[in-house]
Amino acid sequence: MDTEFEPSDFDWLTLDADEDVLWADTPHPYSLVPVLVVGIPLSLFVIGIPLVVGAYLSFKNTNYVVTSDALYKKTGVLSRNVQRIEFDKVQDTSYSQSFLGAQFGFGSVNISTAGGSGIEMSFQNVSEPQSLQTLVNERLKRRGGRDSESEGKAAVLDDILAELRAIREAVESGDGVSASATTPGDSPTDDASESVESSDFDFDQSVTDER
């Protein structure tokens, strides 16, 4: 698997600021062997020449890239087709090898997405397909772990907000009860004023009787 990358190799690729290239490769050269076996004899009749040239151009213009966020596949000879699948959408991975691929160490890694129908992306004839599948699966696990951690933090924050709301409602309801229980007629000041006035009146009446 390739670990050294040149910026010129990815002039077709647009990455986010925090997105890093983890793996990049092209189809294995030995994947051209079946085409050459058939095409070279046919080239004597001119039919094989377009077959060989087309296979070679397709081989040279096919690139596969795995980044920290997504999977990329570029194809096309006269035109350019770039396919991108984020890890959040990847549902399943698998790899397969033909007899020739098993002998020379290349095969295809297939990517299925959630809600998709069958294989959505295939890295065909890449070196060490099992290692590539392992890399993709490891990235999936890391992304899943981050999502679970984020969901856990969000749940804790929701619980804290719920408790704060409950405390606020309890405080507000308590203030309402205490305010409604107290009336102007029941204030201590009013009782005191009434008792003072009654005693003054009784004192004045007793003095009048003695006279």
Residues 72-111: tens digit of each pLDDT: 999 998 899 999 999 999 999 999 999 999 999 999 999 9
Query: Band of the pLDDT at 207, cuts 50, 70, 90?
Result: very low
Rg (CA), the chain: 41
For tokens 């009048």, the residue is: 208
- The crossing angle, in degrees rounded to 10, of helices 48-60 and 33-42 is 150
What is the predicted pLDDT for the residue at 45?
80
Cα first-last separation, the chain: 125
Q: What is the mean pLDDT of residues 10-14?
A: 84
Q: What are phi and psi of 111, to 5 degrees?
A: -120, 125
The pLDDT of residue 203: 43
Asked if pLDDT for residue 192 goes beyond 70, the answer is no
Helix (H) / strand (E) containing 86: strand 81-86
The rounded percent of the chain whose pLDDT value lies above 90 is 45
Query: Does the structure show a pLDDT above 60 at 36?
Result: yes
- Distance, CA of 180 to CA of 195 (rounded, Å): 25
Residue 104's pLDDT is what? 94
Environment class of residue 109 by beta-carbon count within 10 Å: exposed (0-12), middle (13-18) or buried (19+)?
buried
- C-alpha dihedral over 129, 132, 133, 134, to 10 degrees? 130
What pLDDT does 43 receive? 79
Instruction: Look at residue 11 in the predicted model and tell me its pLDDT.
Output: 83
Give the tens place of pLDDT for each residue, 41-64.
887 788 888 889 999 999 999 999
Q: Which residue bears the tokens 């390739």? A: 2
* Each residue's pLDDT tens digit, 109-158: 999 998 777 899 999 999 999 999 999 999 999 876 555 444 545 556 77
The pair of structure tokens assigned to 84 is: 């991108």
Residue 153: what pLDDT? 55
pTM listed for this prediction: 0.64
Mean pLDDT, residues 5-22: 79
Distance CA(6)–CA(11), nearest Å, equals: 10
